[in-house]
């Protein structure tokens, strides 16, 4: 579904990404991890088309990123940025409605989707509130509802659409409380089960371990390691990438690997 | 959890109120002036073409009707362009002066006033005096310079545009001041009056020119409403929503430069309408451009007609510049709304 083929990115003579190759099959969840400035967000921006790759290319649905028109790709690919800069007092409902911009599904269907998307992120009670007055976590949940609304048909009805959805999330859980971090994981698992390919930047190794099919460790614009959660969560690799001494233990109930520092 | 409705009225109700106010204010504009004309006379003159006495008929047909229509058109152009620019810059305090249009127009007009006395004698172009043509040219030239300065192969940066706009406006201000310094007393008075804006020069030719511009923009601008909503989220967010942001920016800059340049050419610099009207409408009905753009056009038209009517009656037989009146009328109302809005939230 999404292929990153030896992508390099250089901006103003500063190399930000170097020979990155990642394959994200349909319905997979990929977690991009690494210290600050490792190039995670830059890579996400190359995928989303904000930066053009200096070398290599991104392939979406067997077609080069360059060949997709913005209006076409917006039908099935949504991007959640780190933070929002919206200064105008839209209600939360109206912000979510903006997610329907690429579609011409009509106001009735859109209203259904908006209500459902707000409910999905536990933000129904925010619908009529002014977005600018929300807390950081509430804003991020409304923005999450907006990107879900954008690719709603891909999230909710499998095989209905001609192309599968892609969702790019940049530190989606940074502002969330514990309950909403788990809610995010659940949503990611649900939509990936319906065929949506998810690529997300995350800092919390344990949270990422709960839902990622594939982890990517990045450092200084290079891809240090790519593999499954249990392959990557080792004390040696964590020491190498994050310069932190950590123990990896097994979750007493779920049996998944857990990082303890 | 308490649910706050942050909107004062619905767009539908706002539109209805404005549509009721528009003809009332327009009639008031036709009635007021050095010669008072009664409502009955106005209706018989405009509807049946006779009635009233011949003097009143002349006043209505040659002076007041074109003036009221010109105010309607200029007011709606300024307010709509203000709304476009505030959306484009994602800043509710942006106004047409930001893209250098007003400052450039002042230079153009001042140049003609100071050096072009030989031009003013020989005739008009599309009903425009040489001063208007100078203002239009100045407005277009500065906005093109600012746009070029802010555009690189990576695209147009609105932040650079803002800074370039401030710098170019300062430069243009210096040029206008130099010209004012060189000017004699009569020229100086004409420059400063022009900068305060007035609709005295209204004629059917100017109405025609403005109507064509407003009609053209009125067809094109509403199509941008959804994209403008998306761009409020941020440029990259709009791009991810499928908006071709670079072309959108270009179109918006062209539309607003054209709209403001025409307004400035026919009526001088009328401050505050482009800044305040969209802002007030946004406070009333929210930032959705699908409602904001048409309602701003209506409210801008109403504000300018009312301001112009008032400008004619405060110090008879002289007239106040309409730009002074828009500020006098608008600023307190604006402040009142701000206070009301703060109390509610």
Sequence ranges of the domains in chain B: 11-344
Cβ separation B237–A71 shorter than 8 A: no
Q: Are A198 and A192 in contact (CB under 8 A)?
A: yes
User: What is the distance between the alpha carbons of residues A222 and A39, in angstroms, rounded to a whole number?
Assistant: 8
Q: Does B236 touch chain A (CB under 8 A)?
A: yes
- CATH for the stretch B11-344: 1.10.3470.10
Q: Are A35 and A244 in contact (CB under 8 A)?
A: no
Q: Are B322 and B199 in contact (CB under 8 A)?
A: yes
The minimal CB distance from A101 to the residues B91, B230, B234 is found for B230
Which is nearest to B304 in space by CA: B193, B214, B199? B199
Q: How far is A203 from chain B (nearest CA, A)?
A: 22
pLDDT-derived band of residue B1, with 50, 70 and 90 as boundaries?
Answer: very low
Cβ separation A101–B242 shorter than 8 A: yes
- Please give the share of chain A, as a percent, with pLDDT higher than 70: 98
Q: Does B246 touch chain A (CB under 8 A)?
A: no
Q: Does B286 touch chain A (CB under 8 A)?
A: yes
Q: Does A84 touch chain B (CB under 8 A)?
A: yes
Cβ separation A98–B242 shorter than 8 A: no
Residue A21: strand, helix, or coil: strand
pLDDT-derived band of residue B3, with 50, 70 and 90 as boundaries?
Answer: very low
More confident residue, A159 or B136: B136
CA of residue A122 relative to chain centroid, distance: 19
The ipTM (two decimal places) reads 0.90
Q: How far is B100 from chain A (nearest CA, A)?
A: 24
Cβ separation B92–A98 shorter than 8 A: no
- Please give the share of chain A, as a percent, with pLDDT higher than 90: 62
User: What is the distance between the alpha carbons of residues A156 and A149, in angstroms, rounded to a whole number?
Assistant: 10
User: What is the distance between the alpha carbons of residues B210 and B71, in angstroms, rounded to a whole number?
Assistant: 10
Which is nearest to B99 in space by CA: B296, B254, B323? B254
Please say whether the dihedral angle defined by the alpha carbons of residues B5, B9, B10 and B11, taken in this order, is positive or negative: negative
| Residues in Cβ contact with B143 at an 8 Å cutoff, skipping those fewer than 6 apart | B99, B100, B101, B104, B253, B257, B261
> Which 8-state DSSP code applies to residue B99?
G
pLDDT for res B79: 95
Residues β-bridged to residue A58: A4
Q: How far is B283 from chain A (nearest CA, A)?
A: 9
B126 has pLDDT over 60: no
Cβ separation A70–B90 shorter than 8 A: no
How confident is the model over B9-14, as a mean pLDDT?
A: 90
Helix (H) or strand (E) holding B17: helix B11-31
Average pLDDT over chain B, rounded to whole?
85
Q: How far is A155 from chain B (nearest CA, A)?
A: 17
Q: What is the pLDDT of residues A42-57, one digit of tens each?
A: 999 999 988 889 999 9
Q: Does A13 touch chain B (CB under 8 A)?
A: no
Give chain A's end-to-end CA distance (angstroms, integer): 36
User: What is the distance between the alpha carbons of residues B104 and B137, in angstroms, rounded to a whole number?
Assistant: 8
Least confident span in A143-152, B22-31, B53-62, B283-292: B53-62
The sheet that has A55-60: what strands, in order across it?
Answer: A14-24, A2-11, A55-60, A63-64
The minimal CB distance from A86 to the residues B226, B233, B282 is found for B233
User: What is the distance between the alpha carbons of residues B289 and B282, in angstroms, rounded to a whole number?
Assistant: 9
Size of interface A-B (CB pairs under 8 A): 84
Q: Which long-range contacts (C-beta less than 8 Å, at least 24 apart) are formed by B248-251?
A: B248/B224, B249/B88, B249/B155, B249/B156, B249/B158, B250/B156, B251/B220, B251/B224
Provide the strand spans (E) within chain B.
151-152, 155-156
Cβ separation B243–A133 shorter than 8 A: no
Residue of chain A minimizing CA distance to B233: A86
Interface test mutation site (partner B, options A51, A77, A98, max chain B beta carbons within 10 A): A98
Alpha carbon separation from A235 to A128, A240, A259 (Å, rounded): 47, 9, 8
Tokens representing residue A261 in the block: 């520092």
Q: Does B287 touch chain A (CB under 8 A)?
A: yes
Q: Are A21 and A4 in contact (CB under 8 A)?
A: yes
Chain A residues in contact with B337 by the CB 8 A cut-off are none
Q: Does B337 touch chain A (CB under 8 A)?
A: no
Q: How far is A94 from chain B (nearest CA, A)?
A: 8
Residue A125: strand, helix, or coil: helix
Cβ separation A91–B240 shorter than 8 A: no
pLDDT-derived band of residue A115, with 50, 70 and 90 as boundaries?
Answer: very high
Q: What is the pLDDT of residues B272-320, one digit of tens each?
A: 888 889 988 998 899 999 999 999 999 999 999 999 999 888 887 788 8
Cα-based angle A55, A68, A196 (whole degrees, multiple of 5): 95
User: What is the distance between the alpha carbons of residues B104 and B110, in angstroms, rounded to a whole number?
Assistant: 10
Q: How far is A222 from chain B (nearest CA, A)?
A: 25
Cβ separation B6–A84 shorter than 8 A: no
Highest mean pLDDT out of A106-120, B28-42, B185-199, B310-324: A106-120
Tokens representing residue A176 in the block: 């969330």
Q: How far is B12 from chain A (nearest CA, A)?
A: 17
pLDDT-derived band of residue A256, with 50, 70 and 90 as boundaries?
Answer: confident
Interface test mutation site (partner B, options A89, A110, A138, A148, max chain B beta carbons within 10 A): A89
User: What is the distance between the alpha carbons of residues B253 and B157, in angstroms, rounded to a whole number?
Assistant: 12
Q: Are A203 and A171 in contact (CB under 8 A)?
A: yes
Residue of chain A minimizing CA distance to B4: A129
User: What is the distance between the alpha carbons of residues B221 and B244, in angstroms, rounded to a whole number?
Assistant: 16
Residue B26 CB: number of other CB atoms within 10 A?
Answer: 21
* Category of B268 on φ-ψ map: left (φ > 0), alpha (ψ -120 to 50) or beta: left
Residue of chain B minimizing CA distance to A95: B233
83-102 in chain B: CB under 8 A from chain A: 90-92
More confident residue, B226 or B199: B226
Q: What is the pLDDT of residues A7-34, one digit of tens each?
A: 999 988 899 999 999 999 999 999 999 9
Q: How far is B142 from chain A (nearest CA, A)?
A: 28
Buried b (16+ CB within 10 A) or exposed e, A237-249: bbeebbeeebebe
| Residues in Cβ contact with B126 at an 8 Å cutoff, skipping those fewer than 6 apart | B205, B208, B209
Q: Does B229 touch chain A (CB under 8 A)?
A: yes
- Among 3.40.50.720, 3.20.20.140, 3.40.50.300, 3.40.1350.10, name the CATH number for the domain at A2-74+196-260: 3.40.50.300
Cβ separation B232–A71 shorter than 8 A: no
Q: How far is A50 from chain B (nearest CA, A)?
A: 7
Provide the strand spans (E) within chain A.
2-11, 14-24, 29-33, 55-60, 63-64, 77-80, 166-170, 197-201, 214-219, 222-227, 247-250, 257-260
Tokens representing residue B262 in the block: 């025409």
Cβ separation A86–B234 shorter than 8 A: yes
HSE at residue A139, side-chain half, CA atoms within 13 A, is 19
Q: What is the pLDDT of residues A193-208, one digit of tens each?
A: 988 999 999 999 999 9
Q: Are A51 and A220 in contact (CB under 8 A)?
A: no
């Amino acid at each position: 579904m999404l292929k990153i083929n030896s992508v390099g990115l250089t901006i103003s003579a500063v190399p930000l990404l170097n020979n990155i190759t990642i394959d994200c099959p349909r319905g997979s969840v990929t977690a991009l991890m690494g210290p600050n400035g490792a190039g995670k967000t830059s890579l996400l921006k190359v995928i989303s088309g904000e930066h053009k790759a200096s070398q290599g290319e991104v392939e979406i649905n067997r077609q080069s990123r360059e060949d997709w028109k913005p209006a076409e790709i917006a039908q099935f690919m949504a991007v959640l940025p780190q933070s929002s800069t919206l200064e105008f007092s839209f209600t939360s409902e109206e912000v979510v409605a903006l997610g329907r911009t690429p579609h011409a599904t009509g106001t009735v269907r859109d209203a259904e989707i908006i209500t459902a998307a707000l409910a999905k992120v536990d933000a129904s009670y925010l619908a009529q509130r002014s977005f600018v007055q929300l807390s950081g976590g509430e804003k991020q949940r409304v923005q999450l509802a907006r990107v879900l609304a954008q690719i709603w048909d891909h999230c909710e009805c499998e095989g209905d659409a001609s192309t599968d959805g892609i969702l790019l999330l940049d530190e989606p859980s940074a502002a969330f409380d514990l309950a909403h971090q788990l809610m995010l994981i659940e949503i990611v698992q649900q939509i990936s089960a319906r065929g949506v390919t998810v690529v997300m930047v995350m800092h919390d190794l344990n949270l990422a371990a709960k839902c990622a099919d594939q982890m990517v460790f990045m450092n200084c614009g290079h891809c240090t390691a790519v593999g499954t959660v249990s392959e990557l969560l080792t004390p040696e690799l964590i020491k190498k990438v994050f310069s932190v001494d950590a123990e990896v233990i097994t979750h007493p109930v779920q049996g998944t690997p857990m990082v303890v520092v | 959890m308490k649910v706050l409705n942050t909107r004062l009225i619905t767009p539908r109700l706002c539109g209805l109120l404005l549509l009721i106010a528009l003809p009332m204010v327009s009639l008031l504009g036709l009635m007021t002036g050095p010669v008072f004309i009664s409502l009955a006379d106005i209706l018989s003159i405009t509807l049946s073409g006779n009635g009233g006495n011949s003097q009143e008929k002349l006043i209505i047909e040659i002076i007041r009707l074109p003036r009221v229509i010109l105010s309607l058109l200029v007011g709606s152009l300024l307010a709509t362009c203000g709304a476009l620019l505030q959306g484009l810059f994602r800043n509710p305090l942006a106004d047409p002066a930001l893209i250098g249009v007003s400052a450039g127009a002042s230079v153009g007009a001042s140049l003609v006033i100071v050096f072009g006395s030989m031009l003013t004698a020989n005739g008009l172009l599309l009903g425009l005096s040489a001063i208007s043509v100078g203002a239009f040219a100045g407005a277009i030239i500065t906005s093109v310079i600012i746009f070029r300065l802010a555009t690189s192969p990576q695209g147009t940066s609105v932040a650079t545009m803002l800074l370039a706009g401030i710098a170019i406006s300062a430069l243009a201000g210096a040029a206008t001041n130099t010209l004012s310094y060189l000017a004699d007393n009569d020229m100086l008075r004409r420059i400063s009056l022009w900068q305060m804006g007035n609709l005295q020069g209204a004629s059917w030719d100017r109405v025609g020119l403005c109507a064509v511009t407003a009609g053209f923009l009125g067809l094109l601008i509403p199509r941008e409403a959804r994209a403008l909503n998306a761009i409020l989220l941020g440029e990259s967010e709009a791009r991810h929503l499928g908006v071709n942001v670079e072309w959108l920016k270009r179109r918006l800059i062209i539309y607003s430069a054209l709209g403001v340049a025409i307004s400035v050419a026919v009526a001088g610099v009328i401050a505050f309408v482009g800044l305040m009207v969209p802002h007030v409408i946004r406070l009333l009905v929210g930032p959705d451009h699908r409602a904001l753009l048409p309602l701003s056009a209506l409210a801008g038209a109403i504000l300018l007609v009312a301001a112009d009517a008032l400008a004619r009656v405060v110090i008879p037989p002289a007239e106040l510049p309409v730009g002074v009146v828009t500020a006098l009328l608008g600023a307190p109302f604006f402040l009142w709304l701000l206070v009301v809005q703060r109390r509610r939230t």
